[in-house]
Amino acid sequence: MDFLIQLFTDPVAFWNSHTLLISQIGINSILASSMFVVLYSGQLSLAAPGFMAIGAYTAVLMDLYWHTPLALNIATGTAFAGVVGVAVGLPVLRLRGVFLAIATIGFIEALSLGVILNLPITGEGLGLKNPNADPLGGINIVLVSLAVVVFLLWRLTKGRLGYAWTAIRQDELAAQSQGIDVARYKLIAFVVSALLAGFAGGAESHLNFFVDPNEYGVPRTVQVLTFAVLGGSGNVLGPVVGALFLTTLPYVFQQAGDYIGVVSGAILIAVIIFRPQGIVGRGGFAFVRPRWWPRAQVRAPSTR
Amino acid sequence: MRRHFGGVHAVDGVTLEVEKGSIQGLIGPNGAGKTTLVNVITGYVPFQSGHAWLESDELTGLPAHRIAGLGISRTFQNIRLFKDLTALENVLIGMHTRRRDDTLAQIATLPMFRRDQRSRLDDARGLMETVGLAASDIAGRAAGTLPYGDQRRLEIARALALRPRLLILDEPAAGMNPSEKQGIRELIERLNEDGLTILLIDHDMRLVMGVCKRVAVLDFGRKIAEGTPAEVSIDAGVIKAYLGSGSERVVTSAPGASAAGDTELAGEGSAARPAVEPQKAILEIEDLTVSYGPVNAVRGASLRVATGEVVALIGANGAGKSTILNTLSGLIRPDSGTAVFDRLDLTRAKPSTIVRHGLIQVPEGREILARQTVLENLELATWGRRDGSAKRTQIEAVMKRFPILGERRALRAGTLSGGEQQMLAIARGLLARPRLLLLDEPSLGLAPQMVDEVFKAIQEIHDEGTTILLVEQNALRALEIADRAYVLETGQIRLSGTGEDLLHNPAVRRAYLGG
């Protein structure tokens, strides 16, 4: 509670003492936005940490070996993640639903076990030292880019591209009948998502003096998915709110001490039961009938 | 054009031409391959042989979205709107192919984009008005919350947003009441007058016959007739396809089949005496009304079945036959009316209780477990019974009754022919020791010879003392073996009588073909 009290009584001190936390919220929000793009187009892709790793390692390695400027490092990392996104997306996007999810988990496992842990240049799993990191100064980059990302995505969802994504998410077959090239728009979403994750990875690496390969595994992907689903994936702001909510939760309930995991988990369960559409989703609280509560069974009349 | 589905020739060598500016009808009984034909034309299902053209553009082998881009627009048999989006958004998505890629203008929020967007919105509202929807009222409502008829119309508006050269309507009037159907008919005629070419598929003969200049008839994936509605409706082959074929004895005296060109039929119900309803019924349905959301599938139907009888429930597709059976099995709850099976209130009892009470349904489409073996399918049917040895002997007995199942006991059920699968489904029903067996369309999709086999089996099961309620599209066949029968039309019982009476009643033909 001290955390919240300070936020309202002394915002300046709060900002100064929680800079790292706020940066982390920003990074998590960008990651959640990356997840938002794929979910918005109806794809359950869990590849985000893989693209993050690509962005992070590219940016840090460029800095270590070539001493290039930060902006160029992050931009290159982002672009590289996008290129890998095309290469991975082309074969993988034939899959749907849970099969796509498993294939993308395969991608992150192959990347971390097969590449990062084996290459001498990435430290063979021991991680990389990043002496030029700037944990406190990085906050400006993060917050400005978050604002830009949210604005861009908001505009995208309102245009032809956004309509195509929505149509695909709602009903692929019907989308095709409206002349929408489903494969193409799915790939666009997948690559945009890869770019955002790559950017988030590059930016995050600038906040830490150490690049830890264990950061980019399945637990991270579950966390990012939770941000997006909890916040609501039908609205650009949803994932950002989800990231904000879940990242600050442990701080708000500091008093819980060792039981913080239990408290956070219980709150998470409660939110998802009563707001299955997400915190920012359309519609009110589902107090009357949660979605998992079975309806009366109705079978549509068969016509064939 | 040919298209097979794993051994089943769903569409087999069909040639179809739609004249520019016309309304072409496509009809045929259940499972004739109409929707498959549409799915092939629109690129959802690949061609196996044959070709299709839209004017000079070859469609063969193109993916669905390219075909839509060329100007073939369709609606779906089971409405496929984007349910969570607003009505307006649905129509806007339909404009995808004629909207240039404006992503950059969109991001920059240029005035050009706003202007375009405004004209698109006007256009979309105009289209909604065209199909008879009040845009100002429903534009902002989620498509899935609209009344059923409005959803059908909205789907047509979305299809029109593509500015199609050919519009394919797949059962646009399915599930509608007569006045709604009339509205759809007027809409189709109006669109055609504005120069649109339309391919109309529907089961409702009155609609198709009324609105089309030419009609093609499919049966078992083949085109069996084509011509003007008047020609088609008296074609002996068409009548046979719709009413089914009786055994030789009956075909000659089948209603309407005797004299080609005889459109003058005897008056309503002249030959049908009201059948004597049994006093002591094991199943009693009174004034049953069932609906799916806004669609009334069954409107006040009453019928009775006495122990030892075979009662047939016949009627065209969508008449509500399966709905009645599903209600009896407790899968659907009725709006009103009663259904009592041997003192058990079927409108309240759980499906599992109903089954334990001895009311067993053999569902339409058979629903066997395709990847399990024949024997496993049969064993699962006795699951939950504790009489181990009796179970064994009964399974053996059933396999003796259907020798083909005994021969194939170790094969996966999915590899059986359609008729054999139907036998398996019936056998499974028998293992549940039914006191009343509900058979839903047992002859569906079967070749004529297999139909003979299945009906022979039904007859034998009945002779062994099982009470049967039989739902069939193949009316003549069902009437032959039924003690009594009810004719269902748009959710209401139109006729009832002994099987023999109805067999010779011309009104039955009208219930199917809408003559």
DSSP secondary structure string, A101-128?
Answer: HHHHHHHHHIIIIIIITT-GGGTTTS-E
pLDDT band at A299; cut points 50, 70, 90 = very low
pLDDT at B257: 37
Q: For residues B189 and B180, what is the distance between their CA atoms, to the nearest angstrom?
A: 14
Chain A interface disruption, residue of B37, B44, B67, B93, most A CBs within 10 A: B93
Determine contact, residues B291/B335, Cβ cutoff 8 Å: yes
Strand intervals (E) in chain A: 128-129, 210-211
Q: What is the pLDDT of residues B294-329, one digit of tens each?
A: 677 888 889 999 988 999 998 877 778 888 998 999
pLDDT at B248: 42
Q: Is B97 on the interface with A (CB under 8 A)?
A: yes
Domains and CATH numbers, chain B: 1-71+164-228 (3.40.50.300), 85-162 (no CATH), 283-513 (3.40.50.300)
Q: Which of residues 110-139 of B touch A (CB under 8 A)?
A: 113
Residue in B31, B63, B101 closest to A304 by CB: B31
Q: What is the pLDDT of residues A4-20, one digit of tens each?
A: 787 788 878 888 888 88
Strand intervals (E) in B43-185: 53-54, 57-58, 72-74, 166-170
Mean pLDDT of chain B: 81
Q: For residues B363 and B359, what is the distance between their CA atoms, to the nearest angstrom?
A: 12
Helices (H), B131-265: 135-138, 148-160, 178-193, 205-211, 229-233, 236-243, 248-251
Asked whether the beta carbons of residue A299 and residue B158 sit closer than 8 angstroms, the reply is no
Q: Report angle CA B207, B212, B216 to the nearest 5 degrees.
A: 100
| 3-state SS assignment for residue B498 | strand
Q: Kind of pairing, strands B57-58 and B283-292?
A: unpaired
Closest CA to A149 of A19, A231, A239: A239
Which residues of chain A neighbour B318 with C-beta distances below 8 Å?
A: 301, 303
End-to-end CA distance of chain A: 61
Higher per-residue confidence, A120 vs B132: B132
Q: For residues B132 and B183, what is the distance between their CA atoms, to the nearest angstrom?
A: 9
Q: Is B44 on the interface with A (CB under 8 A)?
A: yes
- Distance from the Cα of residue B464 to its chain's centroid: 32
Asked whether the beta carbons of residue A155 and residue B109 sit closer than 8 angstroms, the reply is yes
Q: For residues B297 and B316, what is the distance between their CA atoms, to the nearest angstrom?
A: 13
Strand intervals (E) in B252-400: 283-292, 295-305, 310-314, 336-341, 344-345, 359-362
The pLDDT of residue B250 is above 50: no
The H or E element containing residue A206 is none
Asked whether the beta carbons of residue B82 and residue A167 sit closer than 8 angstroms, the reply is yes
Q: What is the mean pLDDT of residues A267-290?
A: 68
pLDDT band at B245; cut points 50, 70, 90 = low
* Max Cα distance, chain A (Å): 69
What CATH class has A2-274? mainly alpha
Q: What is the mean pLDDT of residues A215-233?
A: 88
Which residues of chain A neighbour B175 with C-beta distances below 8 Å?
A: 301
Q: Is B389 on the interface with A (CB under 8 A)?
A: no
A64-68, A131-135, A268-272, B175-179: least confident range? B175-179
pLDDT band at B232; cut points 50, 70, 90 = confident
| 3-state SS assignment for residue B372 | coil
For residue A282 the two structure tokens come to 């359309």
Task: Give residue for tokens 């969109």.
Answer: B106
Mean pLDDT of chain A: 85
Which residues of chain B neighbour A300 with C-beta distances below 8 Å?
A: 78, 292
Q: For residues B54 and B17, what is the distance between their CA atoms, to the nearest angstrom?
A: 10
The pLDDT of residue A288 is above 90: no
- The pTM assigned to this predicted structure is 0.74
Q: CB under 8 Å to A8, separation ≥6 — which residues? A: none
Nearest-Cα distance to chain A for B331, in Å, is 6
Q: For residues A4 and A235, what is the distance between their CA atoms, to the nearest angstrom?
A: 26
Determine contact, residues B445/B413, Cβ cutoff 8 Å: no
Q: For residues A155 and B376, what is the distance between their CA atoms, to the nearest angstrom?
A: 56
Q: For residues A124 and B402, what is the distance between their CA atoms, to the nearest angstrom?
A: 67
Closest CA to B242 of B455, B5, B510: B510
Which residues of chain B neighbour A171 with C-beta distances below 8 Å?
A: 80-82
For residue A277 the two structure tokens come to 């559409």
Q: For residues B357 and B213, what is the distance between their CA atoms, to the nearest angstrom?
A: 53
Determine contact, residues B375/B402, Cβ cutoff 8 Å: no
Determine contact, residues B372/B365, Cβ cutoff 8 Å: no
- Taking each helix axis as running N to C, give the angle between helix A2-9 and helix A237-252, from 0 to 180 degrees, rounded to the nearest 10: 120
Rg from Cα positions in chain B:
25
Highest mean pLDDT among B6-10, B51-55, B75-79: B75-79
Residue A297 burial (10 A CB sphere; 0-12, 13-18, 19+): exposed
Asked whether the beta carbons of residue B78 and residue A303 sit closer than 8 angstroms, the reply is yes
Nearest-Cα distance to chain A for B499, in Å, is 25
Q: For residues B395 and B377, what is the distance between their CA atoms, to the nearest angstrom?
A: 11
The 8 Å CB, 24+ separation contacts for B185-193 are B185/B210, B185/B211, B187/B131, B187/B132, B187/B153, B187/B156, B188/B23, B189/B23, B191/B130, B191/B160, B191/B167, B192/B21, B192/B22, B192/B23
Determine contact, residues A231/A245, Cβ cutoff 8 Å: yes
Asked whether the beta carbons of residue A176 and residue B175 sit closer than 8 angstroms, the reply is no
Nearest-Cα distance to chain A for B85, in Å, is 9
Q: Is B99 on the interface with A (CB under 8 A)?
A: yes
A and B: number of Cβ contacts within 8 A = 121
Q: pLDDT > 90: what percent of chain A? A: 43
The H or E element containing residue B102 is none
Helices (H), B329-483: 351-356, 374-381, 388-401, 403-407, 418-431, 448-463, 475-481
Q: What is the mean pLDDT of residues B492-505?
A: 85
The DSSP bridge partners found for residue B23 are B198
DSSP state of B86: B
The H or E element containing residue A136 is none
Nearest CA in chain A to B45: A173
| 3-state SS assignment for residue B466 | coil
The pLDDT of residue B474 is above 50: yes
Q: What is the mean pLDDT of residues A223-232?
A: 88
